[in-house]
Structure 1
Amino acid sequence: MEEKMKLAPDAFEPVSKKEALDDEKIVAPSRTFVQDAWRRLKQNKASYICLWILVVIGLIAFTSPITASHPNESHPNYANLPPKIPGVNINGLNGTSVVAGKRVDAYKQNNVPSKVHYTLGTDYLGRSLAQRILRGTLVSLLIGLFATLIDLIVGVGYGVVSAWKGGMTDIVLQRIIEVISSVPNIVIMVLLMLVLKGGMLPIILAIAFNGWTTMARLTRAQTLQLKSQEYVLAARTLGESTFKIALKHLLPNLSSVIIIQTMFTIPTAIFFEAFLSYIGIGIQAPTASLGTLISDGQKNFQFLPYQMWYPALMLSVIMIAFNILADGLRDAFDPRTARR
């Protein structure tokens, strides 16, 4: 027989009551899901910068009724003035322009008082381009936000009901989505413009008409996965109503999908509004939007390119910032999708 192993008498020593046991001590700080997502978002420098860019643009746009209170005030004598920033002697920002091959001071030629200057120049009616861009950004953001709000309310509710009920209800609701998705937005927009006679409302309704279908499909897919989870089954067994289960269990777990899809929907709605206004069936004059400003600037682009460049730059910054932020939020809320 093999000799049994014998332990030395001092192999085990009693632990003093004063000694602290750190075997199960958690070193990392305790964070909630939102705090952890915020930490990951801040680590994504590009998305974090884009977040603050959008915050600044939003603050400037929503305060424009105060800072840019007269966007439609015209001064025909000051028409087509180039940008001028006092104290800046850089071509393109010093109020000079090239006429017949020579650079001249456009403000002196038009007898503009020395105290009057336009940071981004004026349009063909002598209206301040800076004020119109600020007001146009506000209009575009409002249309995007309201259209997305309708998308959020209708799409999330529709998707949850479709997945939760299942069976024939789910089949019928999904066929309705397919029918609605097959109708072009342009057709809806033209019909609404004929009925509602222009303005922001027909554009919002046209964007929201079939924009919610993507949100509904994503919400339905996630709800189908969540409805079979143990905590949902436990809640149903304990007699919780469907509304309370959706409010307490489904919506919190759907929040990441909803937030990410919302951040992709807003720039899509803004771009669609700009496109409609650019081709002349969206926001109508004299109301400013980024689409109408780009359309007006394009007419004089050969001689006065700044009239188109500045609103186009604003639209591009908004679109790029929203898309980069949405990409960062996707990685922050679902680390499995993060690029390694």
Structure 2
Amino acid sequence: MEEKLKLDPASFEPLPKADDLDNEKIAAPSLTFLQDAWLRLKKNKGAVISLFILIVMFVVAFGSTFFISHDDLIRSAPQYANLPTKIPGIDINGLNGKLKVAGEWVDIYERNGVPSDVHFILGTDYLGRSLAQRIIYGTKISLIVAVAATFFDLLIGVTYGIVSGWKGGKVDTFMQRVIEVISSVPNLVIVVLMLLVLKPGMTSIICALAISSWTTMARMIRAETLSLKNQEYVLAARTLGESPHKIAWKHLVPNLSSIIIIQTMYTIPGAIFFEAFLSFIGIGISAPQTSLGVLLNDGQKSFQFLTYQMWYPAIVLCVLMISFNLLGDGLRDAFDPKTRR
């Protein structure tokens, strides 16, 4: 008969805690999706600098409402017409009120009898209006257009894309054909049609954006919704009787957030350039109002002799569009590291 195996009670004593038991312990704090994306975004110096530039431009442009009146923008002062840049304390040709005339640098302020305490850091236009004030106001117009494009992308594009992808079938087919019809009409034609009903200005531009700017966002959201609606957590929510509205808000929108943010950042530069182009050719913002496109149009008329009148608004427009593009690239890499080159 086999002997029974007897276990020593000491075998059941807990093992002494060793230092090597915690070698695989995760010491880093847990991060949410947005926190992890923010950490990746901060590593992209170009995107961070662009974000800072855009914040400053937003603050200055919209804060100008408190220190730049409408009368300051339209009031002409012929005695100060076409004055170049003059920054107090700086004695560098081109920044000290001097222009090159017939090969020689001439102090335009002194020649025109401008008082010594009067200076314009970005010069004046042909009516003596401060170019700095008009550029700030023009930047505000461009940013308002950017906000309008963002609004229509979020309100119409996201909603339209989710409904199209969620419904599927004949509803999806019909909604996509509507987008194809809208996309086939150039934006310029839409603006011209708006001018038959409305006056040239911000209203016609915003109406054109409301009609056609959201189609790209709707297509991208629709494609992603078709993929997400078959995921297990969405099927579980439908099985539990959740309404489509709650499923879209609780499950689809959070998972679509990266696409929404990235596409919005690429839509904004296009909308800003669209407004500047319309104003440049004379069917956008009209006098006495101003925008970057209007300033470029005015500056190119005297570009051969007064180059600063075109260079300054052109630089601001370029910085604005480049900043949004770099920030969009940074957000793309932060929200979706797999796309990083």
**TM-score, normalisation: structure 2:** 0.93
C-alpha separation in 2, matches of 1:272 and 1:59: 23
Q: C-alpha deviations, 1:4-48, integer Å up to 9, x for none?
A: xxxxxxx99951369894265212221110000000000011111
User: 1:99 is matched by which residue type in structure 2?
Assistant: V
Q: Is the 8 A contact 2:224 2:256 kept in 1?
A: yes
Q: C-alpha deviations, 1:81-116, integer Å up to 9, x for none?
A: 000001100111100112233221111111111111
Give matches, 1:177-326, under 5 Å.
Answer: 177-326=179-328
Give matches, 1:90-129, under 5 Å.
Answer: 90-129=92-131
CA 1:114 to 1:165, structure 2 compared with 1: closer, same or farther past 3 Å? same
Q: Which residue of 1 aligns with 2:59?
A: 59
* Number of corresponding residues: 330
Give matches, 1:101-180, under 5 Å.
Answer: 101-180=103-182
C-alpha separation in 2, matches of 1:277 and 1:268: 14
Give the secondary structure class of the aligned counterpart of 2:46.
helix
Q: Which residue of 1 aligns with 2:3?
A: none
Q: Is the 8 A contact 2:60 2:136 kept in 1?
A: yes
User: 2:165 is matched by which residue type in structure 1?
Assistant: A
The reply to whether residue 71 of structure 1 matches residue 73 of structure 2 is yes
C-alpha separation in 2, matches of 1:330 and 1:148: 17
The reply to whether residue 43 of structure 1 matches residue 61 of structure 2 is no
Q: C-alpha deviations, 1:213-256, integer Å up to 9, x for none?
A: 10000000110111000000000000000000000000000000
Give the secondary structure class of the aligned counterpart of 1:196.
coil
Q: Is the 8 A contact 1:72 1:132 kept in 2?
A: no
The reply to whether residue 328 of structure 1 matches residue 330 of structure 2 is yes
1:148 Cα deviation (Å)?
2.3
Give the secondary structure class of the aligned counterpart of 2:290.
coil
C-alpha separation in 2, matches of 1:101 and 1:25: 74
User: 2:162 is matched by which residue type in structure 1?
Assistant: V
C-alpha separation in 2, matches of 1:173 and 1:211: 16
The ranges of structure 1 where at least 4 consecutive aligned residues each deviate by more than 4 angstroms after the TM superposition are 11-14, 17-21
Q: C-alpha deviations, 1:280-336, integer Å up to 9, x for none?
A: 110001111000000000000000000000000000001111001101100000011
Q: C-alpha deviations, 1:99-143, integer Å up to 9, x for none?
A: 233221111111111111000000000000000000000011101
C-alpha separation in 1, matches of 2:68 and 2:107: 26
Give the secondary structure class of the aligned counterpart of 1:195.
coil
C-alpha separation in 2, matches of 1:252 and 1:293: 41
Q: Is the 8 A contact 1:133 1:293 kept in 2?
A: yes
User: 1:264 is matched by which residue type in structure 2?
Assistant: Y
| Structure 1 range deviating more: 13-22 or 102-111 | 13-22
1:204 Cα deviation (Å)?
1.1
C-alpha separation in 2, matches of 1:88 and 1:194: 50
Give the secondary structure class of the aligned counterpart of 1:287.
coil
Give the secondary structure class of the aligned counterpart of 2:185.
coil
Q: Is the 8 A contact 1:148 1:208 kept in 2?
A: no
| Structure 1 range deviating more: 247-256 or 63-72 | 63-72
Give the secondary structure class of the aligned counterpart of 1:82.
coil
Structure 1: tracts of 5 or more residues without a match: 1-10
Q: Is the 8 A contact 1:147 1:205 kept in 2?
A: no
Q: Which residue of 2 aligns with 1:4?
A: none
Instruction: Name the % identity.
Output: 66
C-alpha separation in 2, matches of 1:319 and 1:68: 24
Q: Is the 8 A contact 1:148 1:269 kept in 2?
A: no
Give the secondary structure class of the aligned counterpart of 2:100.
strand
User: 1:31 is matched by which residue type in structure 2?
Assistant: L
Structure 2: tracts of 5 or more residues without a match: 1-10
User: 1:196 is matched by which residue type in structure 2?
Assistant: L
The root-mean-square deviation of aligned C-alpha atoms, in Å, is 1.8
User: 1:266 is matched by which residue type in structure 2?
Assistant: I
Q: Is the 8 A contact 1:68 1:134 kept in 2?
A: no
| Structure 1 range deviating more: 43-52 or 62-71 | 62-71
